[in-house]
Structure 1
Amino acid sequence: MKQGSGMVLAQEEDCMDGRIARRIATGGLVALVALKLGASTVDVAAYGVRPDTGENMTPAISRMLAACTNGGERIVLPAGRYLFRPDRPGERTTAFLIRGARGLTLDGNGATLIFHGLMNPFRLVDSRQIEVRNLSIDWERPFITQGTIRSVTDEYVDLAIDRQHYPYVIEDGRAWFTGEDWKRGVDGYNLLYDAATREILYKTRDNALGIDFNKRAEEIAPGVIRFFGKPKIKPPLGTIIGLNHGRYIVNGFDVNRCADVTLRDIRAYHVLSHGVVALRTENLTLNAFNIVANEAKDRVFSAVADGFHLVHCKGVVTIENCAHTGLGDDFLNVHGRNCVVHKRIDDQTVLVDRAECTDAGDEVWLLRKNESQRREVCRVAAIKPVQLENKRWGYEVAFTEALPTDFREGDFFENKTWNARLIFRHNKVLRRHRARGILVSTPESAVIEKNLFSTAGTAILIEGDTDFWFESGAIRDLVIRDNVFENCLSSGSETGGKWEWGEAIITITPSHRPNSVTCEPYHRNIRIEGNTFKTFDIPLVRARSVRGLVFRDNTIEHTTAFTPFAWQKAAFWFDGCREVTVERNVYADTYAGRTLWTQHMAESDLKVTDSRAFTVLPCPVEK
């Protein structure tokens, strides 16, 4: 035994069933470290991991995972309910931290994980061959409050709120919403849900009421709060509302710089931001990972933000058999990052922001903002974080070779090394969540097939952003086939405004805006084939800046599910596209779309040999 600096190390070794257990006591804290002879099942009870105790399992899980250092461990949680709380009140804490692991499997065995406060359920870092499966997660007190509209006038809105499930206080004439260790107001992203269908209410979007829920309020009866202000609309009484208490708080699953990760048979009833965020990860499978409203608790909401958000992953990303409801944002967003040059320091060095997914040794494309075409390929020699003038952090990036003289401030680079192939199939992308369906921007091949899309906004959005979110990924090979699009755009673009939820069922709108009939497009090779569109409105496709766009062998059916209102009055709207083919599609007689809009295109850019004769017109406005 050795003693020093207040630390006591006591070691006992016992051999049982081929396992060696070593007990380490550090400052009075006892941790059991399982040293296994080869791959084996971890004895979770030895670490104090037990279900249905009502105790905080965060410390026990932390000890157990810290001991999984040999590779090939298999963790099976006994079925039951596990509670998790932060290390300290109000502190962001990770429950399952898997760092540097190899070949680890965590089987929840149907366990229910219940979180309190600012918890990050899972964080995977620098790990390989990891599988997490068979569990559900939820919060005792979610960071969204659900209410029902009891009354609405020109002066106020009354909300009925179950105070037992969504506690609140009225202080100094305003409402505060509370949890065990938090007290918050209302964020601007609040949504309305139809009382009967529990879907996003027809023709509503963010903060449709236009009420500031952080201003004057009073409790007019037990469990009924009157929020003062003139609402922009008067929805039907009984309409359900979700009030967010934050926007991007803590993710459900963080997967950072990992490889060969599978998350399957997981049900997330609530997370405090995105369901899954994966950064710089190679080969990721999400199978039957469902982020859904907990209907047993009568909820309409689930995640505060996106379902899956994947940035500069590579290898193959497979997403299948997933169905989400109640999301606070899009089902899926897969993209890279346009790193904008703030300053050219010297011939080989630039200052950029948001380059966290770029490392030394990566190849990048250089792009000029005025044309947005991938040009020179350069290799990163070194990258280091620096603080920018506005107190945000940026990155100083040095290259192995001199940069072109015309590559300067305002231009950007895009990582060439880290981009993923996408397989998205057998999923249900439903109207019961905010905004769009899926956002796809990757230069690698992508297949979107055999899915059901029934979205409040555009079903599939393909961008390439150089002026707001800077999400990169000019498409080079995308197939959209054998999907069903059912009554999408029930909250689509009504006026053409930026923050509405999409002009057409499939919307392709990169930041690059063509300005002539000779302008080279941003995207290439997008094929939309063999799909069924069941639509109450007219817009099918809006596409800007695509070379090689095909819309072929699709069936278009007309429904009366909603009253049409879309701003785009043409079935197709093509802007600056080249080599466009529309052929062999079948249209219901009652489908009203008979017009096709074009901009910045020559007559030879468009070939229509279809069962319906379309009138080709110039777009009536510049958008």
Structure 2
Amino acid sequence: MARVLDVTGFGAVPGARADAAPAVTAALRAAAAQRGPATLRFPPGDYHLWPERAERRELYVSNTVGDDPRHRDKTIALLVEAAEELVISGAGARLILHGLQTTFAVLDSRRVRIEGLAFDFAVPTVVDATVVAAGVAAGRAYRLISVPEATLFSVEGRSVRWHGELLGTGAYAWEGRDALEYTQVHDPASGRTRRAPNPLFDRVRRIEPVGRREIRIEYDHGGEPADTGLVYQMRPTTRDHPGGLVLDSAEVTLSGLRFGFLHGFGVVAQAAQDVTIEDCEFRAPRDTGRYSAGYADFVQFSGCSGRAVVRDCLFDGPHDDPVNVHGTYLRVAGQPGPRTLELEYAHRETAGMPQFAPGDQVEIVDRETLRPIAAATVRRVRQPSGRDHDAPLRSIVLTVGAALPGGLAGRAAVENVTRTPAVHLARNVFRNVPTRGVLVTTRRQVLIEENRFERTGMAAVYVSGDAAEWWESGPVRDLTVRNNEIIEPGGPGVFVDPRSSRSDPAHPVHRGVVVEGNRFVLDGVPALDAKDTAGLRFRDNSVVRVGAPAPDVVLRSCPDADIELGSHPDAGVGPAQVGTVIGAPGGEEQAIRPRPAS
């Protein structure tokens, strides 16, 4: 029988403003030390967690700050470490984080379940500035912007200084000026969010506060602004923390969690096995004037294995992709022997992580075509630990069991194909997304079904893979996208776009992609756009046009494609367009007549 512990037994007081971090740390350590199953309860109420006495660990996390020594140590509000068979339960409990922190981390653990908790930040690191009025007065343009109660600022001359809370060190947790480093624009009326320029602080003549939450900005020109009602979502760009972390752990479930805001790079599952995220809500609290619930992605699986499951979740208001599943290509920098490769992390935001273990299977690919060159089994590896900086953080020396072809340095990349998960994404809702809804590059079975994608800024489902830009690895071998609603995406509904610089029609990058039973509502974009993919199947889909025409399907270098299109009337909207463009063997596009629906 599971032993039940309560955070109040360690000194935490729900509803108190005092720092609960020491009590929560003590409770988590005690729970992890239990032999056999244990449950740690958070009774209903608010718990404030400050960074000064929180747990800290040196960690290197995918797509954050790489090996930047300024950000080696991560501050963690809720740390589960070396635990087994632990449930953390908190229905009705809300953890309010102060400063810059990772909400939770599960390290070196097995069979952990976190359920019911809500997380939020006292001062989010995104400024949501709503234009509540705009016009021209005395020949000069002006805007009146309103910011949420949680946003802290001061007006200093013709500039606005945004900042976090004052910490015990006497410094602000974070600060920046005016438009900060990144902006995206949210339109509550249309339900669209897009990456766009920020005109709020261009040619400013005067700035003055109006009450506690409003700022009047006057300009040195007379052009009337036309953006009343829009929300400018501004933030810095340094991803110094993961928003949450599951690292080197197995059988971890996040259930019924509510994320009002995630600072940094979302919930990252890294080198983890069998991770499930279910019935979770990623959304800013209603009626607060806040719209941004995340600083970047919401969920990322990096170098995982087993099954990656995301189901029955709401993703509303990220600053990048809600769900991203990928591995990491490492560049071949040297080849000192026939069985030895010198590898390096190529992207500045990813470094310091171990990538291989003896017995793992690796694939070596040509960086330009992404075509496999060789496969091998790892025998020995010298690499960073992911927990310290004693070894070089950007380089790995890998020895495999068989001789490799020569001339790999500079032209090849290596992927660990053992650390690739099967993926199931089901019954999720994606809205107010500036980018893609789902990115996935993994060679194991992927099923994306019964989701609703509402007006994503780019493609709803994106299949990439590249060894030149983000170095996110993995060919797709078995992907089914079925029974989803894809409503007015800003890019193709399903976009299969390996970032190869040279196509090889005889050796496509991806294969086994099936798009079936989906309902597409489209304005000027195709339902499916694909290149370098073999055996595509497009069938039983409803394609409804509500705006500009476009081909339903665009293919380039996609042999053995089976494209079924037909007229699918929708009341009040009109029939689907049935034109298609399909690539010839050499990659040139030519119009053909598709096979009609039976």
Q: TM class by shorter-chain length?
A: 0.7 to 0.9
Who is 1:23 aligned against? none
Who is 1:545 aligned against? 532
Q: TM-score, normalised by structure 2?
A: 0.84
Tell me how far apart the structure 2 counterparts of residues 351 and 187 of structure 1 sit (CA, whole Å).
36
Q: Which of the numbers 324, 333, 341 marks the counterpart of 2:332? A: 341
Aligned residue type for 1:445: Q
Tell me how far apart the structure 1 counterparts of residues 407 and 527 of structure 2 sit (CA, whole Å).
40
Paired residues of 1:321 and 1:427 also in contact (CA < 8 A) = yes
Q: Deviations over 1:12-34 (max 9, x none)?
A: xxxxxxxxxxxxxxxxxxxxxxx
Aligned residue type for 1:359: F
Who is 2:290 aligned against? 299
Paired residues of 1:208 and 1:233 also in contact (CA < 8 A) = no
Tell me how far apart the structure 2 counterparts of residues 542 and 319 of structure 1 sit (CA, whole Å).
25
Secondary structure of residue in 1 paired with 2:294: coil
Paired residues of 1:449 and 1:480 also in contact (CA < 8 A) = yes
Q: Which of the numbers 208, 213, 220 marks the counterpart of 2:197? A: 208
Secondary structure of residue in 2 paired with 1:60: helix
Paired residues of 2:567 and 2:578 also in contact (CA < 8 A) = no
Q: Which of the numbers 130, 140, 143 marks the counterpart of 2:112? A: 130
Who is 2:47 aligned against? 82
Secondary structure of residue in 2 paired with 1:543: strand
Secondary structure of residue in 2 paired with 1:41: strand
Unaligned ranges ≥5, structure 2? 55-70, 167-171, 346-350
Q: Which of the numbers 518, 522, 527 marks the counterpart of 2:509? A: 522
Alignment of 1:359-374 (within 5 A): 359-361=356-358, 362-374=360-372
Tell me how far apart the structure 1 counterparts of residues 403 and 124 of structure 2 sit (CA, whole Å).
52
Aligned residue type for 1:540: A
Secondary structure of residue in 2 paired with 1:464: coil
Who is 2:465 aligned against? 464
Tell me how far apart the structure 1 counterparts of residues 107 and 23 of structure 2 sit (CA, whole Å).
19
How far did residue 51 of structure 1 move? 0.8
Unaligned ranges ≥5, structure 1? 1-37, 490-501, 613-623
Who is 2:189 aligned against? 196
Paired residues of 1:339 and 1:355 also in contact (CA < 8 A) = no
How far did residue 156 of structure 1 move? 6.9
Q: Deviations over 1:537-565 (max 9, x none)?
A: 34211101000001011112233xxx53x
Alignment of 1:89-104 (within 5 A): 92-104=74-86
- CA gap of 1:571–1:357, structure 2 versus 1, over 3 A, is farther
Moved more, 56-65 or 277-286: 56-65
Q: Which of the numbers 32, 39, 48 marks the counterpart of 2:11? A: 48
Aligned residue type for 1:382: V
The answer to whether the aligner puts 1:483 opposite 2:484 as a matched pair is yes
Who is 1:219 aligned against? 207
Aligned residue type for 1:384: Q
Tell me how far apart the structure 2 counterparts of residues 425 and 79 of structure 1 sit (CA, whole Å).
30
Who is 1:416 aligned against? 417
- CA gap of 1:604–1:325, structure 2 versus 1, over 3 A, is closer
% of aligned pairs identical? 24
Tell me how far apart the structure 1 counterparts of residues 403 and 590 of structure 2 sit (CA, whole Å).
41
The answer to whether the aligner puts 1:272 opposite 2:235 as a matched pair is no
How far did residue 172 of structure 1 move? 5.8
Secondary structure of residue in 2 paired with 1:342: strand
- CA gap of 1:465–1:227, structure 2 versus 1, over 3 A, is farther
- CA gap of 1:101–1:249, structure 2 versus 1, over 3 A, is same
How far did residue 392 of structure 1 move? 6.9
Tell me how far apart the structure 1 counterparts of residues 325 and 273 of structure 2 sit (CA, whole Å).
13
Paired residues of 1:50 and 1:78 also in contact (CA < 8 A) = no
How far did residue 96 of structure 1 move? 1.1
Answer with 1 or 2: which has the greater Rg: 1
Who is 2:314 aligned against? 323
Who is 1:580 aligned against? 561
Aligned residue type for 1:443: R
- CA gap of 1:233–1:206, structure 2 versus 1, over 3 A, is farther
Moved more, 231-240 or 303-312: 231-240
Paired residues of 2:536 and 2:562 also in contact (CA < 8 A) = yes
Moved more, 55-64 or 223-232: 223-232
Tell me how far apart the structure 2 counterparts of residues 66 and 94 of structure 1 sit (CA, whole Å).
14
Who is 1:5 aligned against? none
Tell me how far apart the structure 1 counterparts of residues 499 and 221 of structure 2 sit (CA, whole Å).
36
How far did residue 228 of structure 1 move? 6.0
Aligned residue type for 2:18: E
How far did residue 211 of structure 1 move? 6.1
- CA gap of 1:152–1:270, structure 2 versus 1, over 3 A, is farther
How far did residue 413 of structure 1 move? 0.5
Secondary structure of residue in 2 paired with 1:104: strand
Secondary structure of residue in 1 paired with 2:8: helix
How far did residue 286 of structure 1 move? 0.5
How far did residue 225 of structure 1 move? 4.5
Tell me how far apart the structure 1 counterparts of residues 98 and 304 of structure 2 sit (CA, whole Å).
31
Tell me how far apart the structure 2 counterparts of residues 364 and 378 of structure 1 sit (CA, whole Å).
5
The answer to whether the aligner puts 1:166 opposite 2:151 as a matched pair is yes
Secondary structure of residue in 2 paired with 1:114: strand
How far did residue 163 of structure 1 move? 7.2
Q: Deviations over 1:113-147 (max 9, x none)?
A: 11111111101111000000001111111111121
Paired residues of 1:275 and 1:305 also in contact (CA < 8 A) = yes
Tell me how far apart the structure 2 counterparts of residues 604 and 534 of structure 1 sit (CA, whole Å).
25
Q: Deviations over 1:567-607 (max 9, x none)?
A: xx422211111101112543345444524252535999988
- CA gap of 1:230–1:522, structure 2 versus 1, over 3 A, is farther
**Alignment: residue pair count:** 547
Tell me how far apart the structure 2 counterparts of residues 478 and 189 of structure 1 sit (CA, whole Å).
34
Secondary structure of residue in 2 paired with 1:578: coil
CA RMSD, 1 decimal = 3.1
Paired residues of 1:282 and 1:316 also in contact (CA < 8 A) = yes
Paired residues of 2:311 and 2:426 also in contact (CA < 8 A) = yes
Alignment of 1:372-411 (within 5 A): 372-380=370-378, 381-385=380-384, 393-411=394-412
Paired residues of 2:276 and 2:309 also in contact (CA < 8 A) = yes
Looking at both structures, which has the greater relative contact order when contacts are Cα pairs under 8 Å and sequence separation is at least 6? 2
How far did residue 407 of structure 1 move? 2.1
Who is 1:24 aligned against? none
The answer to whether the aligner puts 1:176 opposite 2:157 as a matched pair is no
Q: Deviations over 1:415-446 (max 9, x none)?
A: 1111100011111112x122111001100001
